[in-house]
Amino acid sequence: ARVHEPRVKAVEYPVRGPIVLKAGEIELELQKGIKKPFTEVIRANIGDAQAMGQQPITFLRQVAQQLATIPELRAVGVGPHRAPPKPPPLLIACGAGCLTGAYSASQGVNCIREDVAAYITRRDGGVPADPDNIYLTTGASDGITTRLEPVYLLCGHGAGNMRAFDLAYSYALLSAVLSELGAVQVNYYLDEDNCWALNVQELRRAVREAKEHCDPKVLCIINPGNPTGVRVARVLCFWKVPGAALLVPESSRARPVPQVYQDNVYSADCRFHSFKKVLSEMGPEFSSNVELASFHSTSKGYMGECGYRGGYMEVINLHPEIKGQLVKLLSVRLCPPVSGQAAMDIMVNPPVPGEESFEQFLREKESVLSNLAEKAKLTEDLFNQVPGIRCNPLQGAMYAFPRIVLPPRAVEAAQAHNMAPDMFYCMKLLEETGVCVVPGSGFGQREGTYHFRMTILPPVEKLKTVLQRVKDFHIQFLGEFA
């Protein structure tokens, strides 16, 4: 334990870090009647859709209940009335009706993996997906951790010889996983002045500098970005390196509808393109050689089913021996939650025109996505009216990542408190307004710039309240430290 203690200490996850612990303390104080300048804490720190008030998709909840938990309800006509003529494959696969209480295969229920493969094939316009390359996971985050483990164990030793490229301004989970493994992160930065565009020259700069002291093995790209919400350029030709892996958490935008943030695309001229599809278009030299792992989950998009912890990982061009080790590591974890697997199956098999559930499903789905698009535009417009705050257009995902101007005296005050300047700012924002956001330093940012990440998930009226509180606080903060 002592040998690995530095790794444990190095792990940080700011989305649920110190500022969230402080938010919990403030909530307890409010419950005890301690007076504050506000009456509630608004947790805008995490993309937990239903906790923020987003209504569940009726179809998923009803089918999950009927077909996976209480199949007897089908006999009394409760739910979406798909009325399958025979027992659903899901029930048979889970052990002759033992349902979600039974273990599944470590890689996941076979028929669900087949459904995921069929879904990916449809998404990518016919580019085939093999069920044997599909791994059902406990959310997308579990898949990322699982995929990185064999890379590290095979390529890295004690001193942390596995290096991973990461998208600076990226989901903090990736940095935490690398710290836990004892790996080293090499950042490359998006171009904030060009709406968070990815510049291949910046990638080359990162590679050149990294190779002076290490051998990069993994390139991680979030598509579309979290927290920046921006689309990512085609960079696959850049990463055709023998033995290198490419991790792509694809909140897919395959069409302007259905993956992690695949459906959450708000710019009219943007469409989702999966990296796998692009690989296929580049010809066998790339599609047969570049190792690619992509991830998706039920947590984001229009489903917002975070608590089900359903996800999948597709891995292509993986060496057979490494694939065997990956399956072995998965078997140690027994299996992902079968209820989460069921939710994933429902997500990749939504109602189709002609089915009784289709109209309600489509109405609820379009309502969620149009509401998010409205809130994305509202957030961008209101932030850009505040002196000292600049917010790029929110093209996708479900977060804003505004840049904030902090006066030199505020930076000095933060240093005196042994805090990153944007952590100091966010902590004061929480204590004075009850708004909980995440400092940009937890996601990686260029030296001398400061940001915070905030979800746009709260209902419109509550979101307006959040934005107004941030505006008033920021103006007061600038005055205090001018």
Compute how many other C-beta atoms are within 10 angstroms of the C-beta atom of residue 415: 12
Rounded to 5 degrees, what are φ and ψ at 81? 60, 45
What average pLDDT does the structure give for the chain?
74
Mean pLDDT on 325-347:
81
For 434, residues 6+ apart whose C-beta sits below 8 A from its C-beta are 26, 36, 37, 38, 39, 40, 41, 42, 469
Eight-class DSSP state of 68: I
Task: State yes or no: pLDDT of 4 exceeds 70.
Answer: no
- At 250, phi and psi to the nearest 5? -95, 100
DSSP string, 318-329: --HHHHHHHHHH
Closest CA to 318 of 158, 154, 187, 115: 154
The 3-state DSSP class for residue 452 equals strand
Question: Which CATH number does the domain 100-348 belong to among 3.40.50.300, 3.40.640.10, 3.40.50.1100, 1.10.10.10?
Answer: 3.40.640.10
Q: Which of 77-81, 295-299, 335-339 has the lowest mean pLDDT?
A: 77-81
Query: How far apart are alpha carbons 474 and 233 in whole angstroms?
Result: 33
User: What's the average model confidence in pLDDT over 23-42?
Assistant: 90
Residue type, 352: V
The closest alpha carbon to 433, from 25, 39, 48, 28, belongs to 39
pLDDT digits (tens, 9 = 90+) for 73-114: 444 444 444 443 334 455 445 444 445 667 777 788 888 888
Per-residue pLDDT for 310 more than 80?
A: yes
CATH number attached to the domain at 5-53+361-480 = 3.90.1150.10
Classify each residue of 34-57 as buried b or exposed e, where b means 16 or more C-beta atoms within 10 Å of its C-beta: eeeebeebbbbbbbbbeebebeeb
- Domain positions in the chain are 5-53+361-480, 100-348
Other C-beta atoms lying within 10 Å of the C-beta of residue 432: 16
Residue 59 has pLDDT above 50, yes or no: yes
